[in-house]
Amino acid sequence: MTPNAEGDWINQRDPNYEKYPPMSSKTAGMSIFSSGGMGIATSRDSWVYSPSTAQLGATVAKLVGGYNSALEGWVSQGAPEPASDFLPNDPKIINWSAGLRKRLLARRALADADFGASLALYRPFNKVWVTRNLELIERPAAIDRYFKGSHEGQLGIYQVGSGSAVPFSVIVTNAIPDLHVTGAGSGGQFFARYSYTHLDSNSLFDQPERVDNITDWALDQYRDVYGPQVTKDDIFFYVYGLLHSTEYRERYAADLKKQLPRIPMVSGRERFEAFVTAGRTLSELHIGYEDIEPHQLTEVVSIAAPTDEYERFSVKKMKYGGKAGAWDKTRIRYNDFIDIEGIPVEAQEYMLGSRSGLDWIIERYQVKTDKASGIVNDPNDWSREHEQSRYIIDLIGRITALSLKTMEIVNGLPTLEID
Judged against a pLDDT cut of 70, whether residue 236 lies above it is answered with: yes
Residue-wise pLDDT tens digits, 288-308: 999 999 999 999 999 999 999
pLDDT band at 1 (very low <50, low <70, confident <90, very high): low
Cβ burial 40-79 (10 Å sphere, 16+ → b, else e): bbbbbbbbbbbbbeebbbebbebbbebbbebbeebeeeee
pLDDT band at 202 (very low <50, low <70, confident <90, very high): low
Judged against a pLDDT cut of 90, whether residue 419 lies above it is answered with: no
Q: Please check whether residue 156 is in contact with residue 172, taking contact to mean a CB–CB distance below 8 angstroms.
A: yes
Separation in Å, CA 256 to CA 22, 123, 177, 253, 418: 11, 21, 20, 5, 18
Which of residues 25 and 19 earns the better pLDDT score? Answer: 19
Q: Please check whether residue 1 is in contact with residue 104, taking contact to mean a CB–CB distance below 8 angstroms.
A: no
Residue-wise pLDDT tens digits, 240-289: 999 999 999 999 999 998 889 999 999 999 999 999 999 999 999 999 99
Judged against a pLDDT cut of 80, whether residue 77 lies above it is answered with: yes
Q: What does pTM read for this prediction? A: 0.93
DSSP 311-355: HHT--SB-EEEEETTEEEEEEEE-SSSEEEE---GGGGG-EETTE
Length of the chain: 419
Q: Is 300 left (phi over 0), alpha (psi -120 to 50) or beta?
A: beta
* pLDDT for res 161: 72
Give the Cα separation of 194 and 139 in Å (integer). Answer: 20
Backbone angles phi, psi at 345, to 5 degrees: -60, -35
* pLDDT for res 149: 77
DSSP 216-260: HHHHHHHHHHH-TT--HHHHHHHHHHHTT-HHHHHHTHHHHTTS-
Give the Cα separation of 392 and 268 in Å (integer). Answer: 43
* pLDDT for res 201: 55
Judged against a pLDDT cut of 80, whether residue 238 lies above it is answered with: yes
Give the Cα separation of 39 and 178 in Å (integer). Answer: 5
* pLDDT for res 328: 97
Judged against a pLDDT cut of 80, whether residue 206 lies above it is answered with: no
Number of H helices, E strands in the chain: 13, 18
Judged against a pLDDT cut of 60, whether residue 8 lies above it is answered with: no
Across the chain, mean pLDDT equals 93
Residue among 135, 213, 139 at smallest CA distance from 176: 139
Region 137-153 average pLDDT: 90
* pLDDT for res 164: 78
pLDDT band at 148 (very low <50, low <70, confident <90, very high): confident
